[in-house]
Homo-oligomer: A and B are copies of this chain.
Amino acid sequence: MPFGYNGKILHVDLTRGTTRVEEPDEKWYRTYLGGTGFVGWYLLTHLAPGTDPLSPENPLVFATSVVVGAPLSGFNRYVVGAKSPLSGAFAETEAGGYFGPELKFAGFDALVVHGRSERPVYLWIRDGIAEIRDASGLWGLDNWLTLERLRQELGDPRVRVVSIGPAGERQVLFACLQNDLEHFNGRTGMGAVMGAKNLKAIAVRGTGKPALADPEKVKEIARWHNERIKSHPPNVGLTKYGTPGLLKSINDAGFLPTRNFREGWFEGAEALSAPVYHETIFHSNSTCWACAVRCKRRVERTEGKYPLDRRFGGAEYEALAALGSMLGIRDLAAVAYGNQRCNLYGLDVISTGAVIAFAMECFEHGILTPADTGGRELRWGDAEAMIWLIGEIASRRGIGDTLALGVKRAAARIGRGAERFAFHIKGQELAFHDGRGKTGMAMGFALSPTGADHIETPHDVAFQGDGIAKLFPLGLFDPVDPLKTDEAKVRFFFLGQKAWGINNVLALCNFTSVPIHAMTFGRLVEAVSAITGWDVSLYELMKAAERANVLARLFNNREGFTPADDTLISRWFEEMPSGPLRGKRIDPERFAELVRLYYEMSGWDEQGRPTRGKLVELGLDGLAGA
């Protein structure tokens, strides 16, 4: 009997209407651990190259890990992955909430959905039993109504539900998944994959728990961790203001993407900042299972034209930037309302903001005109236009049908030079961090296998001055300069990427774990050991993170991605026109040279392909599909 995990992976074939339980051995679990490790393994071994991401053959993986379900802050997430319909690349997208641990408690460590149902269905998983059920009555409902209806139908208010909204059903290429209306697998378009499978929702209820190898030790670490969360400054900040607390400092530093990345400083940032948020729309903190940080925001507003319901998930930093500074909108209520609409429709708010910004800039340059929008103007700062477009995209109506493809494909469809304003990396829209202000994050954007990804590596800013001490256990002793693009920065990124990658294989939250937040490397290793009974080491965890990254790289190489895709958006190669970072740019030749250096550090050849030596080192040389 293993500790920490169930030893069972649930496979559901929607084409055949069958379910099957796989029981991998302990070596497999310890090699891949969970999260992106599981996703990479299934994609590489279960998907033929060149497959249409919206075809039945694309497996949709829901992965917890060998530690999810342990009662520790931030140990509660799950990763959803498949081939991305947005980028055609490796996709993985994490969420917190209650679904991950519930899946563990129901007896499974991961769920892999194969095939496509002829008609809408949902899955009902409880304590080792999985049923495929008719969802005809749910199809077309938003995420809230879907949840309500399922709880009624299943007669259990404690059922945990992952669902897609109308956007996923209509295969908007950046449709997302949600659970409990507050937690989102936002990026890479997994909602479209779920929609293409005619899978509306997954309901889970479990009453078991994987045994812990050393429950007393886990308790002791939980006490220590939760106590430290109360005093560790980054966590104190998250508890107080959540991610909205970042907005003002990012704007003050000059890298808040504004008006489609044209600027890095937004004159209206004050109105979107955390103090205003708290004075005007904040209702209460919310949280994920067993987490002491409570970084999530509930918002409420009963008056005015932008009502906010506290059940529907308050805007995070990314939403404030997406629907605020990126669009030149300073009306916080409107931004929060737009965010709420995205949540209910099941749209990734990051890509949604980015495509709307793209549309507005196209409109400004006459590339889109009222003839394209049914007569509607699309102007910077126009909150009504933003909210209207969210609906149009979710419904795939008119211009919304074009924008539902993401900026890359939308620009191709529009033509007229629209690609000048279509900012994406590997086909995915960027989250809202201007790389000119934190070049380590820029490397993450360029080199993340999922395309532009702001959680590929910890932010440069956390490792200035004494902050670098957080990375001493990686052998990195020099403070980071956020603005430099040099060898030292590549080294920081190389190591930071693996360190944060641990969180993605273990499905841990970056907001409680290494290296920025309350967890330390030493205690993390202790925690994983206490949960699993394995004498794991940081070396092993770093290499597991690297292994997951290499699996994703192998996948992308197989799908035809090349070094030309490991780059940044053109705007970051140009001088920042205004704000505190005025005049800053990243030199494209230097950046490309450092990307090649990163390949060399990674044991990849000049074409960015992992060498045989690297595969042997990671124990991947025999892997089918590698």
Residues of A within 8 A of B (CB): 27, 30-31, 472-478, 487, 490-491, 494, 520-522, 525, 529, 534-540, 542-544, 547, 597-603, 611-614, 616-619, 621
Contacts and interface: CB of A to CB of B under 8 A. Distances in A.
A521 B535 contact: yes
B491 A616 contact: yes
A601 B613 CA distance: 4
Given A474-B540, A475-B540, A476-B619, 6 more contacts: A27-B478, A472-B540, A475-B539, A491-B619, A538-B540, A603-B603
A557 to B, nearest CB: 17
Contacts of A477: 27, 30-31, 619
Given A522-B535, A535-B522, A472 B30 contact: yes
20 contacts: A27-B478, A30-B477, A31-B477, A472-B534, A472-B536, A473-B540, A474-B537, A487-B616, A491-B617, A491-B619, A494-B617, A521-B537, A522-B529, A537-B537, A538-B540, A539-B542, A600-B614, A601-B603, A601-B616, A601-B617
| Nearest 5 A/B pairs, CB to CB | A600-B613, A473-B537, A537-B538, A601-B613, A538-B539
Contacts of A612: 597, 600
Nearest to A473: B537
A491 B520 CA distance: 29
A277 to B, nearest CB: 36
Contacts of A618: 475
A529 B618 CA distance: 28
Given A597-B612, A600-B612, A535 B617 contact: no
Nearest to A526: B522
Contacts of A491: 616-617, 619
Contacts of A619: 475-478, 491
A522 B521 contact: no
Nearest to A494: B617
Nearest to A486: B616
Nearest to A522: B535
A477 B490 CA distance: 31
A603 B601 CA distance: 7
